Each structure stands twice: as structure tokens, then as C-alpha cells.
Amino acid sequence: MVSHNLAQLSAATHWHDPIIIVGANPVGLITALGLAYYRIPSVVVEDGSGTSLESNQLALLDQSTLAILDTWSQSGQQIVANGVIPTGERVLFRKSQLYRAPLAAYEPGMPYPRLLNIHQATLEHLLLQILQRVGGCQVLWQHSVRGMVQDHEGVNIELATPGGNKYVRAPYLLVTNGPPTPMHNALGMNHTGTTPDQRFLSLDILTKLDNPHERWYWFDAPFNPGYITQLHPLPDGIVRVVYQLRPGEDPAAVGRPDALQQRIVNMLGQRSYEVIALNTHSCQRSVIAQFKHGRLLFLGSAAHSLSLFGASEANSGAQDAWNLVWKLALVRAGLAMEESLLDTYHIERHAAAAAYLESTNETMSFLTPPRGLAEWKRNTTLRLSQPFKVIRNSIQLVDGSGSYTYKNSPIFSDDHRLYLGGRFTELSDEQSATLKRFRLGPQVGTLAPSLTLPNADTGTPVSLLARSAQGFVILCFTADVEMAMAVLQQVPVQISGVPISFLVITPVMPAVSAEGGITIVLDADHKAASAYNAGPRSLYLIRPDRVIAARRFDSDFNDIPALLRHSVGEDVVDTRSRIRRTETKLSASQ
């Protein structure tokens, strides 16, 4: 009997040791939660002595990160309860307010807010509590990697500890801290990208504002002429104020109590306040060349630096973990081609990071343009945003990982007929029109639409993607349910244990009942067919990270085993980082 839950599969015989994660930061801890969800043991090593509640770093979590946390640990709402949801936005230019508008905290039908502001230290503390609750992970403080030897079955790791050096073995080493670290330096994993001469002063201020959940963007303010000032709400009556510093401006002079008082009063007016924390930082924006180096995999800030104004890499790093962890689970169970599948982590996430880097650079070029024409264009756009809402809506003021379409991944499979020129002689006019609509529907490499339909047998609501994290989901659109059932019942025999959930989506009440683990859902109003632009016999294969891995316009469903094998890398031969025995020693000077 094939398991329908990836977390219930046993490990392959050669995989006995826990995965080692370097860094007890949000990305490292989120990755550990993902591994725990799939019952993969892990050990987090951190050279610090514990989470620092005095840390000044801010985490701006988007709804996809909260959804990931909820999928893996049912903790999304717990995180939300400890943060602040921005509900308004105020944009000012020089002495004038350009506009003030409410922000929609939630998208329709979404249980998580669009954005959540939370201190990184608070987030880390919560994640450690959640890890302790779910189990499967050990956190070792004051432990750092000093060297490693990797071979075709694992990594031997030398750890420096308070009690001296010790040696452990792991199937994989996941690095989440940086940049740079001794590991980056030893492997030549240098970050490339934009390193601007832009520094910022961040203040956490305890005060009472008229609109405490409103964020501000103040361009060319009288108290910070020529530069940007921001305000972001935090829990417990605290606001984060970020000033862009002028080139050559002395942070120590700016941080003097008298200088701070003048800036704060000019911005917030005469009101009582208390400065809780002060920090200076620059915005480093870069990406390393390879996210995978044999059995070393880089995530979060170890792989890329994309966040603005001192915010953490939690969103993009969570997406790294979301992409990687299910692949490790399949490899651990012996159900995937190890190198072929894990190489796609680099292929997919490096491309996403490069796209985010470009987007972040565009945002920064607007927020902090160089003097001259670029600044004039920015200021003109700001002035026009006051009378023209369409211009206002085009301004991107907040960075975020957002959604990304994975392209050119070798484990995707699109329908070749979608890209053949000319008219298909074997198709009727109606079929040709349906094919054109299907071509424009959800693409391979994008997130699959999530919606709920009634179970054809019981009438109870069924979420099409409710079980997606447990394995692959196959959506079969058809009016011939009996034919589909006959074919699908043979699929598990042909795919050697890959966890799958079958959903037959039909517009008419079927004459047969569901059996063999197959679910039949009724799409009488064509809601699902419209969301997927599906034809009468269309097929969608969805990965555990809810990314569409394959689609077919007109399928008899006999091609499902081949599509599944391709999606786990079985017929992919062009791997990029074949594992050889390599030794890396990190010297004390590194």
C-alpha cells in the first residue's frame, strides 16, 4: 500500500544521522521545523550563547511565510499574535503629506495578514519554543563548524565546542548564517551584487502615536533633507524609525541624545518618548554563485542578502526551506534521484534570488536615488502620486520575497502542444479555443490556485491543496469519472511509493463512488475549471511546495507515472554538482 503522507515514510538504510543546520536564526529554525514536519531529525549549531533579546533586527513577515509556519507547525496564528499588522500608510514629501490611506490587512479568503512586523529576537524565541514542542531537533549553543570532509554518502564535520573539538557525521550540512562566514571564505562562496555606500540609523522608540499601526515614508524631510526616513509599528507601543544617513555623516554624532531629540521632535512632534534601542547598518544586496556545493546547501542570508533597512531574510529564507525540505524528504526515503532532485534547489532558488535582487535594487533606486536626474524623476513621481491614484499604486515602498515563477527547472514538464505554431487539424474550433485558454492558465513553475469544492459523495468541503505538503497532488478534470478511476487506481503500482493524492474534478454528479484513496469533487459551477483554465480532460501535477510541476491539456491520465518520475528527477541526467570526496578546513584566522 502506498503511503499518502511523505512524513510517514521510513528513511533509506544509509541515512541514520541528523542533518546539521548552521545558524539558530529565523531561517535555520524554520528549516528545522520543516525537517521535523517530515520527521527528519536535525541539529542546529550556533556559535552564540543564545537568542539576544537586545537584537535590533526587524522581521517583516509576509503571508506566505506565515502559511509555511502554519503548515509545518500550526504556529502561524501564534506568530501573528506576537507581532503588529500595519493597517495604514502615510507618505510625506518635504513639508507636505502626499497621501494617507488605509492598508488592507488581509487578502480575501486568506487567514494570514499581508505583512506582519515583529522583532527578530521575538520570532527566534517563539520558533525555539515551537521546536521544543514538536520535537525532532536539538539546538547546540556555542558550537561552530571548524572543518568538514564530504563523500558520496555524507559529511564528517568538526565542531568547536566549549569542551573542545568534537566530530559528527550528517547526510547534509545546511548553512543559514552569513555573509561572510569562514565556510563561505574557505569554499570561495563570495556574494556578488550591489554594495552601496548607504548607511542607516535605526531607532526603537517607545511612544504613543495617534495611529500606532500606521507606517510612514518621509522623503526629503526638513529634519533629514535629501534622504528618506521611515517609521514602522512594532508591538508594545514601540515604533522603528529608520533615518538614511548622509555620506560621511558620523553615526556617533547623529546618535547623541541632543541630536536624536531634535530629529524625533521634528518628526513626531512634542510628545513623551523613550529610545529603547539604537543601531546603524548598511543595505548589502547580493547573491552567491552556487546554493549547493556537494552536500552543503546554503539558505537565507548564507545564500543571499536581499532585505532592506536592517530587516531579516526570513521571507526569502523561508521560501528556500519550503523549496528544499520536501526534496530532502523524498531523497531520505529513497524515492528520488538524489543529485538530480537536489540540484534543482540551486537552479530554482538562485533564479528566484536573482529576480528578488533586481526587484530590491529597483525599490532602493526609488527610495534612495543618486543625486541628479534619478532624484528628479523620483520627486516628480511623488508629486504626481498625490492627484493620481494610479501612480500612487505603482510605487513599490516595501520589499518582500513575493511569489516567483520558477523557469527552466529540469524537473518541470509542460504540454509541448501549447507551443506548436499553426492550427491543429485534429481539433475542433471549440477545442482550439479551449486549448488557447489553457495555454494562458496557471503556468508550470507557478503556485497552484487554492480553492474548495464539495465532495461528490458526502457534500463536505474539500480543499484541493489541503494535503499538498504530504506529497504530490494530481488534479484530473473529466466528465468520465469511471474511466479516470480505472486508470488512477493503477498509478500507485507504477510509481514505487511516491506519496500522491488524487482528486477527480467533474462538472456532473458521477455515477460511481470514490474508492482506493481517490477523492471525487463536484465542480458544477466550473469554479475550478475556470481557475485552472482547464479543458474537459486536463491534468495538473502539483508538488509538495504547491508549485505546478506538470500540466497536460488533453490527457487520458496514463502519462501520470512518467510525469511523476520526471518530477523527482529520475530521467534528469544533467546534474550540476556531483558529490565527490572533498575536505574543507576552516582555520582560526577565517
Q: What is the CATH number of the domain that holds 238?
A: 3.30.9.10
Domain shared by 180 and 270, yes or no: no
More confident residue, 351 or 12: 351
Give the model confidence (pLDDT) of 439-477 as tens digits.
Answer: 999 999 999 999 999 999 999 999 999 999 999 999 999
Per-residue pLDDT, 2: 43
88 domain residue, yes or no = yes
498 domain residue, yes or no = yes
Task: Please determine, for residue 587, whether its predicted confidence score (pLDDT) is greater than 50.
Answer: no
Report which secondary-structure segment, H or E, holds 93.
strand 88-93
Do 477 and 470 form a contact (C-beta atoms < 8 A)? no
Q: Which 3 state secondary structure label does DSSP give 386?
A: coil
What gap in Å lies between CA 438 and CA 529, rounded to an integer?
10
Half-sphere exposure (Cβ direction) of 368: Cα atoms closer than 13 Å? 24
What gap in Å lies between CA 24 and CA 143, rounded to an integer?
11
Q: Among 40-54, 212-226, 342-356, 466-480, where is mean pLDDT lowest?
A: 40-54
Domain shared by 208 and 186, yes or no: no
257 domain residue, yes or no = yes
Per-residue pLDDT, 575: 45
Tell me which of 250, 282, 314 is where a domain ends. 282
Cβ neighbours of residue 586 under 8 Å, at least 6 residues apart? 145, 146, 147, 182, 183, 186
What gap in Å lies between CA 171 and CA 15, rounded to an integer?
7
At residue 172, φ and ψ (nearest 5 deg) are -150, 155
The structural domain count of the chain equals: 3
Domain shared by 248 and 308, yes or no: no
* Average pLDDT, integer, range 73-93: 94
pLDDT-derived band at 398 (thresholds 50, 70, 90) equals low
- Amino acid at site 398: V
More confident residue, 186 or 409: 409
Domain shared by 306 and 338, yes or no: yes
Do 124 and 29 form a contact (C-beta atoms < 8 A)? yes
Task: Please determine, for residue 573, whether its predicted confidence score (pLDDT) is greater than 70.
Answer: no
Per-residue pLDDT, 529: 96
Q: Which domain holds residue 548?
A: 416-567
Give the model confidence (pLDDT) of 191-213 as tens digits.
Answer: 666 556 678 999 999 999 999 99
Domain shared by 334 and 479, yes or no: no
Cβ neighbours of residue 553 under 8 Å, at least 6 residues apart? 415, 417, 418, 434, 435, 438, 535, 538
587 domain residue, yes or no = no
Domain shared by 135 and 163, yes or no: yes
pTM metric for this prediction: 0.92
The strand pairing partners of 100, in sequence order, are 90
Domain shared by 361 and 473, yes or no: no
Do 99 and 384 form a contact (C-beta atoms < 8 A)? no
Length of the chain (residues): 590
In percent, the amount of the chain with pLDDT more than 90 equals: 61
Cβ neighbours of residue 433 under 8 Å, at least 6 residues apart? none
Domain shared by 424 and 359, yes or no: no
582 domain residue, yes or no = no
Domain shared by 426 and 458, yes or no: yes
Domain shared by 420 and 520, yes or no: yes
**CA neighbor of 560 nearest in space, from 551, 548, 547, 572:** 551
Residue 66: give its domain's CATH number.
Answer: 3.50.50.60
pLDDT-derived band at 576 (thresholds 50, 70, 90) equals very low
Do 278 and 262 form a contact (C-beta atoms < 8 A)? no
Domain shared by 354 and 435, yes or no: no
Q: Among 32-41, 347-356, 370-379, 573-582, where is mean pLDDT lowest?
A: 573-582
User: Other C-beta atoms within 10 Å of 312: how many?
Assistant: 24
Per-residue pLDDT, 363: 81
572 domain residue, yes or no = no
Q: Which 3 state secondary structure label does DSSP give 148?
A: strand
Residue 529: give its domain's CATH number.
Answer: 3.40.30.10
Domain shared by 294 and 310, yes or no: yes
What gap in Å lies between CA 142 and CA 125, rounded to an integer?
17
Per-residue pLDDT, 590: 45
581 domain residue, yes or no = no
More confident residue, 130 or 485: 130
Per-residue pLDDT, 274: 95
Tell me which of 258, 282, 306 is where a domain ends. 282
Tell me which of 234, 253, 282 is where a domain ends. 282
At what angle are helices 63-73 and 314-332 packed, to 10 degrees?
Answer: 40
* Average pLDDT, integer, range 349-369: 87
Give the model confidence (pLDDT) of 155-179 as tens digits.
Answer: 999 999 999 999 999 999 999 997 6
313 domain residue, yes or no = yes
